Structure formats: C-alpha cells, structure tokens
Structure 1
Amino acid sequence: MAQKVRTRMAPSPTGEYHVGHIATLLKNYAWAKHNGGDFILRIEDTDQVRKVDGAVEKILSVIKGYGLDWDEGPEKGGPYGPYVQSERLEIYKEAAQLLLDNDKAYYCFATAEELTELRDKQRAEKLPPKYDGRYRDYPKEEALKRVAAGEPYVIRLKVPKDVTVTFTDLLRGDISVESSNVDDQVLMKSDGFPTYHLAVIVDDHAMGITHVLRGEEWISSTPKHVLIYKAFGWEPPIYAHIPVFLNPDGKGKMSKRKGTVSAQSFLDAGYLPEALLNFFMILGWAHPEQKEILSLDEYIKYFDPKDISSKSVVFDVNKLQWINGVYIRNLTDAELLNRLKPFIPADCSLDQAEAILPLIKERLVTLSDFEPQTAFFYRAINIDKEILTKRSTPEIVQGQLDDTSKALNDLEIWSEEKIEESVRALQQEKDWKTKQYFMMLRYAVSGSAATPPLFSMISVLGKKLVLERLSAARAIL
C-alpha cells in the first residue's frame, strides 16, 4: 500500500509571517489534501535569541485568517507531538548522541574567537569561509573528559569525504553536490538547543513527512539535510523548492524595502482571504484550462508540485487587485456588508452602509476602499468655488443651484426615479449645458468629481442633507 502523504509547514516565531510563507503553506496544504493525506503545523523555535513574544499566536491567527487549517499541531495535538521544537529538546539530544555513538558526529570545542580568526584568515586568502575540521579526529576519550569538565562545546556532523550528494527536486530534477563543498554542520549548539538542520530532519522523520515543499533558498542546505538523513540511516522525503516572489517592479526578491510583505497586512488592507489564496494559486502554476479564478477545492483537485514553474514570478499587485474585485462582486450585498464591518468607520451607521453599498460595490477594489469612497455620505464636505463654477460663471451656477433646490424641495416622493425625472426636466427646460450642469451638481452635493451614479447618490444622501449642501454651495458664490 502506498505511503500516506504527509506535508508540513514549520514557521519560526521570529517576526511577522510573510505572504510567501502563506503561499508555501497553501501548496503543502493542497498537496496533502490532493492525496487524502495530512497537513502538519510545527513551530520551530530553536532560535531563542530571535524569538518574539506573541509571535506564535499571531502566526496561528493569520493562518486561520486566510481560511486554512492543519490536521496536527499546536492547539490540536496529534500522535507525533509535541509540535513545538522547544518542547522536544530531549528528542534532539538523544538523536545527536546516536550520531556520536556511531561516529557520524563529533564534539567541537573551537571558541567563537578561534572561528572568527579562521574566517578572517580564509577571507584574506580569498577562500570561502568554512570550518577546518580541527576537532574532527580529536580523540573521543579526550573529548568526553572536556565535556565532563564542563567545557563549552558544539556537536558537528562528520561529513563523509569525497562523496557525491544527489537529491531529486520535483521542479529541477537531480541536483548533485560534492561533499567537499559541504561544511561539518553544527547539529547541537553550546546552549543545548539543536540547530535548525538537526531538528528539522529529526522532526520530519519522526512525524512521517513524505514531501517537503519549501522556498528555493533552502536548496543550498538540502545536501546537508540529505547527509544527516544518511547518517541516521533514514530515507529523505521528496523535495520541491519553490521560487521566491519578485518585487512588483520585477527587480529582486520581494522585501520590506519595496513595500509590505506581512501576510496579516494584506488582510488588514481589505483583501479577501479567498482572493489572496486564489492569487497565490496562480503565481507560478497554471490550471489545466488556464482558469484564473478558482476555488480552494478546485486547486486541491488539480495541484501537483511538479507543475510549479522553476522561475521566480512577479508579485503582480494589479492582478491581485483585479482578482479581489472579482471576489467582492461575487458576494451578495449581505455577505459583503458582513465582510465590511471592520472597515466601516464609527461615524457611518450600519444602516447607512447598507444603503450606500449597492452604489459602490462595482467600484471597490479592496474593503478598505469603503471609507474613502463613501466619506461624503456621512461627513461634512468642503466646496471650492473655482471647481464649482468651472466651465460657467458664478451667476449662472447660482441660478442653477436655486432652481435645482426648488425642484428637489417640491418633490413629494424622494426616489432615484423621481429625482432623475425632475432634474433632467429642469436641465432641458433651462437649456443648461449637460456636462457642466451635472458635474456642478455632483460636486455641490458630494464635494467630489468621482462618485457613484448621481441620482442614486442624491437619493441615498436624503432630501434634507442634499438641500443643505446646495444651500451651502450657493453661499460661497
């Protein structure tokens, strides 16, 4: 029987969770579900120096905020727990001891000063910085005496000499590296914590991980990982290294210097989680029918990591905005109103928002557009005399405002239809220039040249407020 597919994502609580992390998590999740397997979440907090308080909770929250979940991990448990590395220290110590006992690793007592001196010397000689193996063949009995005496040490992997390390990447095929180019990697640090390289192999093996889908920046570390697997006598998982996102301008890896990269910040900016996931789906991967709008279930059905492009892709914000707009317009008004609640300002009532929403739904790109597109409905406006009288004269505009106020005040039924009928009849009767008059009226009641449809807007603003604003506009002439 085929082995059950198990994938994982293993975030480190060292800061904000990147959109690239969510995109990679999505791929791991989808591949597990495509195969009827399990997706595991593991917290890799062995870097205690960079660990940020509260970061774990934020990571779990943002993953849920994107509508994703995990089968095993924090808050859920599972048969291979604990799922937090700092709670698995004894497991790593036992693993490191196993390598020591089998002469696959060794104690190293080189001080930080010695290693700095070594690197400086190598740089001066234009050599790549690399540990020189000075304790590789140190007598084991002597090493154990120094350990017993309390001398600080690390444990390093004894990388085999003169062997070719080969692994298969689903995107790139076979990749080979000579072991002479692989450092004797530190496995256990002097503080008793494992390095990432030891912990990730021990955990992936213990948790039955079959596929590792991760960023391409890990390609250079994979030979080390394969060697650690071989040192234990374990079978490595299948690897797929996913290209990084490029900045929206196409220049360089997406970074904070060129704008936000925080996964939470995109939700805070009013992008719908399902639109973001859809965007991540099609970055570097194509649906068999070249569809650009697809659900998570459809993605799971068709996704295969071997179909991911090996080329880096631009994080195209325009494409993301288009996709988000499609998802917004596919919501019912009631669904959209519910999604908008965190973005509706305090001075706009829910009833007002409900009335305004149909007027702006087609214009929304993100949920955060609601306030700037609707503020004139519920906040005071400022009118500029020059804009108000553009393409006309103060005298003509004054007459237009007076006549429009009277016509609207005389309406017994305040509806979009009756407003349009009255205002158009007035314009035709007075023979006012169509473009000038309607632009002036739009500006007088909204303080803006770009608004929802004029008569819908006037209807929603209400008779009292419209008449007040026409009067205020007249007063500045």
Structure 2
Amino acid sequence: MMWKTWFTKEESKWPRWQLRDINKFKMTKQSSKIRTRFAPSPTGAPHVGNIRTALFVWLFARHNKGNFILRVEDTDQSRAEQGSIKSILEALNWLGLDIDEGIFKQGQEKGEHGPYTQSNRLKTYRDHAKKLVQAGHAFYCFCSQERLAVISELQKQEKKPPKYDGQCLNLKPEDVKKWLAEKRSAVIRMKVPQEGETSFKDTIKGNITVQNSTINYQVLLKSDGFPTYHLASVVDDYLMEISHVLRADEWIASTPKHVLLYQYFGWEPPEFIHLPIILGQDKSKLSKRHGAISILDYKKQGYLADAVVNFLALLGWNPKTNQEILSRDELIEQFDVSKINKNSPVFELQKLDWMNKQYIKEMSADKIRKALHDIDGLSDEALVFFNKQYRFDKALNLIKDRLEKLSDFEDSVRFLWDMPDYKADILVGKGLDKKQTKQNLEKALELIDRSDDLRQIFLDHCDKSNIKRGDMLWPLRVAITGMEHSPEVFASIEIIGKDESRERVEKAIEKVSFKMAQRPGLEKIQEKVLW
C-alpha cells in the first residue's frame, strides 16, 4: 500500500494537541492470511451487480486458499428491508458461494470476529469515533439540517462541489462539553487537512492521488448513534482482519477518506481492488430498465446456477483465452485479479441465454427433472402427463438442444398433451395455396396409419410424387404442434400417439376447408367467430 500523508507536510499548521501521537505513528499490521468479505446492505433483493461482487470476492478467496466472510452493513436503518438478508443468503447458497465466517444462516453466525451485523456493533463504532475526537482527528458538529441545506444550495448556485464549510471545526472544548450535556443534536465528522494530497494504490486502477482540499469533512457518527459506511467499514475491516477489499469502483471516490482514517487509527490499510461497474446495452449503469432483475428471479426463470456463475465471472474478468465455458474448479484455478478489466463490462442477456443453453445440453434427464421440480417448473397437467419417466425423456429429447431456460420447457412441449389452437393461415406454407395444403394434409392423414417408419414413409412419398419435403411436412408440423417453428414432427407423433395425431390432422383439414369456403368480404368476421 502506498500513500502520501499530511503528517510531514502539514504538521506545523495543526495545533500540537492534535499531533501528540505523530512521532509515535506506526502501522498496526494485519495477519498474512487472505481474508475477504462480502458486505451487502439489506436494502432489497440481491441484484446482478452485488452478486457479481460476491462471486469475485469468493473466487479470490478460494484461489488464494483464504476466507470468505459475509458481513451485513445495515447502519442505514431507513433503507433496510425485511427479508433482504434471507434473500442474500438464498442467492449465495443457490450459486454455491459457501461462507467460511460470518452470517451463514438467518440469525446464525460463525467465527471469532463477530457480531457480523453492524447494527449489533454500535458501541464499537461509538468508542472508535470518540477516540478520533480525543486524538484530534474528528470533531463534533452541531449544525442543523436547515443550515446544511442552505449551504448546499449556495454551493449549487456557485457551481461548487458539495462540502461542509467547517463551521464547527474549531469550537471551544468547553462549548462542546456544554452542548453535549444539553443533549443538543450532534454528529461526529472526520477532520481533513486542507493542504497536501492523499494517495493510495488500487490493484486494478493503479496509483490514485487526490488533493486533500477536495475531501469532505465526512460524517462518521450520525446523531442517532449509528455510524456511516465510512467509519463502520474501516473499523470492521481492521477488527475482522480483512486483507483485501473488493468492491465496486463507485467507492473509489470515498477511498481517500478511508485511507486517512486508517492513518488516524494507526492501522495498516488492506489492499483495495475496485471492480468495474456493469453497464446496460446503452452503456449506462445497469438497472431494471435494462432487464436487470433480482438474481433469484433468474433462478425462478430456469437459469442454472453453474451457468449464472460462469456468466457473472466473465463480467469484468477474462481468463485471457478464448474459453467461455468454465467449470467452477476452472474458475477458481484461473481467477487472478490481474485479469480483471479496467473497463466496465456490458450485460448481455442473450449471452446468458446461450451459456445456459450449453449447460442444459450437458445435463441428464434426471437432473433436469429435479431442477424443474426445484423451481416448480411443471404444472399439475404436465406432472400427470409425465407420470411415466419415458414420456419425460422423449419430450426432453425433442427440445433439449434448443432449450435456453428450464422455465421454457413446459411451454415448448405443452402441445404433447394440450390440443393446440392456431390460425388456419399458418398451415399454408410459403409457395403453397390452400388447395395444395389440404391435399397434402389428406395424404398425411392416410400415411399416419402406416405401422412402419413414418419418417421414411413420408420422405419416400415426397420423392415418388415429386413433392418438396417442406411442402409436405410444413402443414403436418403445424397440425401436430400448432407452431411454425416446432420440435421434430415424427418424434412428436410417436409421443402423442397415432390416434391423437390423426385427430389433429383432421382438425387442420377442417380449418383449411373452411378457409377455402370463405367469401372474401366475410373473411375477417368469420375468423373472429371461429378462430
């Protein structure tokens, strides 16, 4: 870790009581063991962005044989949502991101550095905030919200960045003591030198330097006694011996404050690894309008955990090869933070669909059936039809190579037990008329009754009669499945059975016959009535 401090440059400009420990300043070092944490706020369902962060943290820990810790940062009580922690745990469990330490079940923790929920650590934060005040690195601020709002508005009008104006920075100690005794509302803010600069090294971004004059006098402890993220995360990361902090790069702007806090406490900072944020197709930050949903919604939609892990791992990280399908073991073995891209990745749902499709292709029928059961992916009707395993196996073989999500399975094969409804127009293939379509369907009805290999019987008929195979098979496929783009028709007939298949072809002939008998002026009216 590299930084430039104000201690040497600005020492003479600060009161001596603020600098009494400067000459004794030594960094307290942490353990050499890799310890990482995923520290979400319980403000809603876990989404793609924070779960991608969790995955990178987990992969980094596993690659380095370290510890993966789950900590809940719930200091902003106004935004906390009931059920969020349960959803976070469910998401991590579904994706197989096992937890070494911290919260591992609802209301249950493991590890020697607890509690792991910040709202249960308030005394720790208050004690550390008061230590900073006593050391001259923080101060009490009694400014009202109304005054702060006026300052903010003036800064906007003058096109200045928002920053506290230091009104309470040099209050007399006796006034502070008196006002605290009177129970006046107060916060604790960190002091920041207004000259010099603060630098730190980010593993991905490199060395980053900011002018101290641009750093705000950050609130550390709010008037309700709860800490802000800035104090709580620094204190917890140190006390929990976190060696590497992986988080979204939107926190880079706050890191100089954290570096100063580490210096004020005399602690060695962890290594910072800021991850590029995920963008939507329009290159703005990924949000719901881009189709981003809760990670658990992907589970409900029939995406496989291994496919989602593989997909998320490639959002901002690259193995530097052309390999796109990587097993969990391969990801752990190859995950190196030096291969994390500086540029933000773009979320492409089509890529996830393709990847999920590849994983489905490799699954056995038994595993797919179990996965469908886990997401309640089969209706009662489907369960009745598939009460015999061979039916399920044959239905799966029809569509397995084209199935992108497990949730699409039932809709793709519903025609097997549910007589399809469709408009007569789609029976007529390109280049055919209604008369030819009817003739081909009537011939198909005759051929279906044959007991031999139906596929070969139909192909032989096409060859002998000089009929294009597509002209013959198109109306048959629509009649059997009700779809223009459907699974293989002869395999479908085998599952449905010849009696049911014959009935469907007869229905198709009736549709075409009725269409042929229509008078042009009545076509639309009759279509509404019949179709």
TM-score range, shorter chain: over 0.9
- Give the counterpart of 2:219 among 186, 189, 197: 186
Q: Where do residues 16-415 of structure 1 align in structure 2 (5 Å cutoff)?
A: 16-74=45-103, 75=105, 76-247=109-280, 249-341=281-373, 342-349=376-383, 350=386, 351=388, 352-390=391-429, 391-411=431-451
Structure 1 stretch displaced more, 176-185 or 69-78:
69-78
Are 2:486 and 1:451 equivalent residues in the alignment? Answer: yes
SS of structure 2 residue aligned to 1:348: helix
In the alignment, the residues of structure 1 paired with residue 409 and residue 48 of structure 2 have an alpha-carbon distance, to the nearest angstrom, of 24
Q: CA deviation at 1:262?
A: 2.3
User: Which string of whole-angstrom CA distances, capped at 9 and with x for unpartnered residues, describes residues 66-94 of structure 1?
Assistant: 22121111134211111111111111111
1:414 equivalent in structure 2? none
Deviation at 1:313, TM superposition (A): 1.4
Using the alignment, how far apart are the partners of 2:317 and 2:278 within structure 1?
Answer: 13
Name the SS of the counterpart of 1:8 in structure 2: strand
- What amino acid sits opposite 1:445 in the alignment? I
> 1:396 Cα shift?
4.4
Deviations 1:323-351 (A, max 9, x none): 11111111122222222333223321234
- Alpha-carbon contact 1:337-1:354 (below 8 Å) kept: no
CA RMSD after TM alignment: 1.9
Q: CA deviation at 1:403?
A: 3.7
Partner of residue 518, structure 2: none
Distance 1:305 1:393, change over 3 A: closer
Q: Is the 8 A contact 1:404 1:426 kept in 2?
A: no
Q: How far 1:286 sits from its partner (Å)?
A: 2.0
Q: Deviations over 1:290-319 (max 9, x none)?
A: 321111221111212122111111112232
Shift of 1:175: 0.6
Per the alignment, residue 4 of structure 1 pairs with: 33
2:88 and 2:285 map into 1 onto residues whose CA distance is 22
Is the Cα–Cα contact under 8 Å of residues 419 and 504 in structure 2 kept in the other structure? no
- Structure 1, unpaired ranges of 5+: 412-416
Residues 27 and 392 from structure 1, CA distance in 2 versus in 1: closer, same or farther, beyond 3 angstroms?
closer
Please give the alpha-carbon distance, in whole angstroms, between the structure 2 residues aligned to 1:458 and 1:261: 39
- What letter corresponds to residue 290 of structure 2 in structure 1? K
The alpha carbon displacement at 1:45 in A equals 0.5
CA distance in 1, matches of 2:433, 2:193: 89
Distance 2:369 2:274 in 1: 40
Q: Percent identity?
A: 40
CA distance in 2, matches of 1:250, 1:182: 32
Change (3 A) 1:383 1:129: closer
Q: Counterpart amino acid of 1:40?
A: I
Which AA in structure 1 matches 2:399? I
Change (3 A) 1:123 1:384: closer
Q: How much has 1:430 moved relative to structure 2? A: 4.7
Q: Distance in 1 between matches of 2:288 and 2:164?
A: 33
Q: Give the corresponding residue for 1:435.
A: 470
Corresponding residue for residue 495 of structure 2: 460
Point out the more displaced range, 53-62 or 310-319.
Answer: 310-319
Alpha-carbon spacing, 1:291–1:427, altered in 2? closer, same or farther (3 Å): closer
Once residues 317 and 254 of structure 1 are traced to their aligned partners in structure 2, the CA distance between those partners, rounded to angstroms, is 12
Alpha-carbon displacement from aligned partner over 1:351-383 (angstroms, at most 9, x marks no partner)? 443330011000011222213322212222124
